[in-house]
Amino acid sequence: MPTQRRVRLIVVAVVVILFLTFYYSGEASRIQNQKFYRSTLDAMRAKEDAKHAKPQDKIQDAIPRQGSNAAQADSANYEHPVIPPAKQSEEMEEIPIAGRTKMTVPKNKDVQGSSSDSKPVEQEETTDHLDAKSELNSILKRSPVIIFSKSYCPYSKKAKSILLNRYSISPKPFVVELDQHPIGRALQDLLAQNTGRHTVPNVLVNGKSIGGGDDIAALDHSDELASTLRTMGGKWVAEVTRATPSEGHL
């Protein structure tokens, strides 16, 4: 039989073992309940999950990455057109061509592209306008009836034939061939400004237009041309008589 001392040692050993067992069991439970332990464990689990899912993720990530590379390659291969920078609006202007269309040209440049200073151009235009006014005033003093014509214009020829051949007018109408006059273009522009008629012929009586070739023919056909010349000419028209009958009275 074991002695009393041995029995006592056995009992003490059992008690110690039981104490250690309960102590470490409770300590382990507390460690598991701690936040740090839980977060660490979650991180480890996530890492393990990531290892298993990584091959699939690589395949899925490769698809958009390849598409992006293709788009970049297409963009690199595409040659973007070179667009010249737009000039400021102050550098361009529209000018009329033949009175019907417009052409956009650089400012202070003519159609041929030669540069010109704006100030001399303005002075030249002003000088031409003043010269045209002076010349027009001088022409209007030549006779109360003025025929502004162009030598090659058939309508001008019609008006001149009626006024010079079919009627006897005193003083005789004065004819200005604009295509042969040194400043005929400036005169025609001034007439358009003053009378509203830019075409030829342009028949003036005391500085007022009575129309062109068709208008003169219509007045002659209706026997109103002589009376119109007398009324508008006033005391400045000494005589207006028909030299030959009009076409409507033949």
Tell me: the pLDDT tens digits for 120-156? Answer: 444 455 788 889 999 999 999 999 999 999 999 999 9
Which pLDDT tens digit goes with each residue over 33-57?
565 667 777 777 777 777 666 555 5
The one-letter code for the residue type at 203 is V
Encoding tokens for residue 30? 């507390």
8 A C-beta contact, residue 150 and residue 178: yes
214 φ, ψ (degrees, to nearest 5): -65, -35
pLDDT at 116: 43
pLDDT at 245: 65
8 A C-beta contact, residue 145 and residue 229: yes
The whole-model pTM stands at 0.50
- CATH homologous superfamily for the domain 128-249: Glutaredoxin (3.40.30.10)
Positions of the chain with pLDDT lower than 70, given as ranges: 1-2, 23-37, 51-125, 244-250
| CA dist 68 → 60, 61, 80, 168 (Å) | 13, 11, 19, 95
Encoding tokens for residue 1? 């039989």
pLDDT at 6: 77
**3-class state of residue 208 by DSSP:** strand
Hey, where are the domains in the chain? 1-33, 128-249
Q: Which residues of 188-207 are buried (b: 16+ CB within 10 A; e: fewer)?
A: bebbeeebebeebbbbbbee
pLDDT at 125: 58
Q: How far apart are the first and last CA of the chain?
A: 179
